[in-house]
Amino acid sequence: MGQPALLAQSLRRVFGDRTAVDGVSVRIEPGQIVSILGPNGAGKTTTVRMCSTLLTPTSGSISVAGVDALAQPRQARRMTGLVLGGDSGFYSRATARKNLLFFADVAGVRGSARRASVEAALESVSLTDRADDKVRDYSRGMKQRLHIARALLGQPQLLLLDEPTNGLDPHVASDIRQLVRTLAESGVGILLTSHYLAEVQQLAHHIQVIVQGKEIAQGTAGDIAAASGLTWVTSLSTEGQPESLVDALGGWAGKLDISQQAGVWQVRIPWKGQARSDLIEAWLSQQGLGIPVDLVTRPATLEENYLALVDGLRQVDAQAVPDVPGVPAAGLAASAGLAAPAIPVAEPEPGSGISDSGRPA
């Protein structure tokens, strides 16, 4: 078996008297998509920045395709593609092809391989027919694809994707997800961060959950579900009093999500084990109500599993440790995301500042 695309072991990073990451390990095989999830401040960003060589760990080891990233960071970077996305990062008055020729130079791609690498990257993201258009005329989805093309210059073995579909319309986001799948199928190892847990559920082969700098769960979406203890979710609308439903369900369900719309109660029931529809039917009968037409029981989503896992851990922490005045709790709905800002490229004057060869004028 070949070298992993990424092997990060026992990573630890200390900032002053605060430990941001404590013993986290990440392994990505060629063709595998791994996603890191966690609340804001959990250590995701620090972990990803260390894996990308943008930040040196206090202790631990990192290798990219067998190259020691701490001893040989330049060589490791040549094997790593980083996609931060956004509207900046390109010369907007130059064409996509000229931009990529310039960044191929920056990436150290030389000679005949330079132009071949650019053409291959454009083809990979389906931008060949628009390669001679100026970047300022690109839609947001096209710019996102161009960011991925830039990361593919030099044929990296590891790709770090930060929010690849953020702000895109559903159709374009679907195209980007298919592109990510295709890249993985070609053998590229991918570390994915995303606020859209449905996207993570669709793409990731392996998921790691980090809280307070430590890994608390890892594995497939099914493994995360098992760790959370949340299996099924039932939703229904009812005119009955949902407070009595809590007692009727006993200890079979977690905390009910109850809201009211137009005088009708909307109830969401998270089951800790078997979905006990018989308990719901018995309660409805006691209320003199029939079975509502919108009564649905389905498997819990990754987002529901993740929130149940993190929420449960925080409830344990809250019981064990008193609140510290002046220290706000991070939002539970926050999920994976790389906070490192895109590096802006200053607009040269006059003109695009890039010659026909793609090099600075």
The model carries a pTM of: 0.79
pLDDT of residue 292: 92
Q: What is the rounded CA–CA span in Å between residue 51 and residue 342?
A: 17
pLDDT of residue 338: 29
Written as six digits, the tokens of 67 are 């190259």
163 burial via Cβ count (<10 Å: 0-12, 13-18, 19+): buried
Per-position b or e across 146-161, b if 16+ CB within 10 A of its CB:
bbbbbbbbbbbbbbbb
pLDDT of residue 323: 43
What is residue 68's DSSP assignment? E
Average pLDDT over residues 155-179: 88
Average pLDDT over residues 273-291: 91
Phi, psi of 127 (to 5 degrees): -120, 10
- What is the chain's mean pLDDT, rounded? 85
Average pLDDT over residues 42-55: 91
pLDDT of residue 343: 34
Q: What is the rounded CA–CA span in Å between residue 97 and residue 99?
A: 5
Query: In 3-state terms, what secondary structure has residue 317?
Result: helix
Average pLDDT over residues 151-173: 88
Which residues share a beta bridge with 209?
37, 217
* Residue 306 pLDDT greater than 90, yes or no: yes
What is residue 322's DSSP assignment? P
* Residue 252 pLDDT greater than 80, yes or no: yes
Average pLDDT over residues 94-106: 94
Same fold: 6-225 with 231-299: no
Written as six digits, the tokens of 130 are 């628009």
What is the DSSP track for 143-170?
Answer: HHHHHHHHHHTT--SEEEEESTTTT--H
Which residues share a beta bridge with 253?
271
Average pLDDT over residues 238-266: 88
For residues 286 and 278, the answer to whether their CB atoms sit within 8 Å is: no
* Residue 354 pLDDT greater than 60, yes or no: no
Task: Calculate what percentage of the chain has a pLDDT beyond 90.
Answer: 59
**Domain segments of the chain as ranges:** 6-225, 231-299
What count of Cα atoms within 13 Å lies in the side-chain half-sphere of residue 250?
9
CATH number attached to the domain at 231-299: 3.30.70.260
pLDDT of residue 194: 86
Quick one: three-class SS letters along 197-238? HHHHHHHCCEEEEEECCEEEEEECHHHHHHHHCCCEEEEEEE
- 307-351 pLDDT tens trace: 988 887 765 555 554 444 433 333 322 333 323 333 333 444 334
Q: Give the closest residue to 313 by CA, choosing from 238, 234, 214.
A: 214
Average pLDDT over residues 14-28: 95
Domain covering 6-225 assigned CATH 3.40.50.300 in the classification: yes
- 183-224 pLDDT tens trace: 999 999 999 988 889 999 999 999 999 999 999 999 999 999
